[in-house]
Amino acid sequence: MIEASFRNNDYTGTEQKRLHFHVAYELLFVVRGWVDVQISDQCRRATAPSLVFFGNLEEHRVKAVSSDYARYVLTIAPEQLRGISPTLLSIFNSRPADFHHVLSVDSCSMRLPELFDALVRESGLEDSCAQFCAESLVHLLLAGLYRRYPEAFPAERCIYPKGIIEAQRFLDEHFQENLSMDEVARMFFLSPGYFRHLFVRLIGFSPKQYVMRNRLARARELLENTTMSVSQIAEQVGFSDASNFIRSFKAHYGATPSSIRKEKSEKAVFTYF
């Protein structure tokens, strides 16, 4: 699913209270004003016109600083980009140490507002072609950015062995399983040590950390959007028991699964009224 919206707010100092994440990739296009963006423990300022790229496993929070702030928000389910070039996809799913989340752009020469307006229109339609058109527009957007700003794409600056790209995709699809990282390395013809070294350098996490982040992200999505019990969720995302899941969840998010679900429920009631 690809969703796009335009949001125009006249306020200063409003911020998202808690670091949060989306199971989808997210792209913020700041067209007026500026915002402070926190991604994990890093803080960046995005001044119009600029793009901010969020991976689907990255916790973040945005605070509007200027009194006149307008932006487009684009969310993209990872499966929508399965067929795209790994080089283009790397701006969302690769996080080497020198990656820059904020990209200042020349929006006029690239006609970015027109492109985002088209994405907003397509994501608002319900006909059978709307998502195909939106996906094509996203491909066009990323290809245009790559043509003009190739250095923004990690795969352009690093040599990506094919095995690492395939291994990352394998982990995305099989994180719920009881995986041996040594076996995964051998599946893609890499030694375990070299596999871990490359994965950390190119993706930003060790393979085990990457699997854990996938499990916890999926678990949080299930907590907030289903009525499944904590034990059921733990089993579904790949934990051997609920106690281990709760410990890992709290260590990562700073809150228990039950408190996250309660917070989401209270917010929904407040929004309703």
| Mean pLDDT by groups of 10 residues along the chain of 273 residues | 86 59 89 91 92 91 87 92 88 90 87 95 90 94 95 81 87 94 94 94 91 92 91 95 94 89 64 38
pLDDT at 267: 59
pLDDT at 190: 92
Distances (CA, A) of 266 to 44, 60, 81, 224, 272: 30, 21, 34, 11, 10
| Cβ contacts of 168 within 8 Å, gap of 6 or more | 93, 199, 203, 210
Residue type present at position 231 = S
pLDDT at 126: 86
Least Cα distance to 116 among 71, 68, 150 occurs for: 71
Cβ(257)–Cβ(219) under 8 Å?
Answer: yes
In the numeric block, which tokens belong to residue 170? 């394998």
Pinpoint the alpha helices (H) of 175-206: 181-187, 192-203
pTM of the model: 0.83
Report the C-alpha gap between 192 and 181 in whole angstroms: 7
Q: HSE on the CB side for 234, CA within 13 Å?
A: 17
**H/E segment holding residue 207:** helix 207-225
Report the C-alpha gap between 19 and 119 in whole angstroms: 27
pLDDT at 268: 52
What letter does residue 127 receive in the DSSP assignment?
Answer: S
Residue type present at position 96 = P
Report the C-alpha gap between 43 and 104 in whole angstroms: 16
| Cβ contacts of 251 within 8 Å, gap of 6 or more | none
pLDDT at 119: 96
| Cβ contacts of 186 within 8 Å, gap of 6 or more | 192
What letter does residue 34 receive in the DSSP assignment?
Answer: E
Report the C-alpha gap between 245 and 239 in whole angstroms: 6
Residue 31 phi/psi, 5-degree rounding, is -105, -15
Long-range Cβ contacts of 164-167 (<8 Å, 24+ apart): 164/188, 164/190, 164/195, 164/198, 164/199, 164/202, 164/203, 165/86, 167/195, 167/199, 167/207
Strand residue runs (E) in the chain: 2-9, 25-32, 34-39, 42-47, 50-54, 60-64, 69-76, 102-104
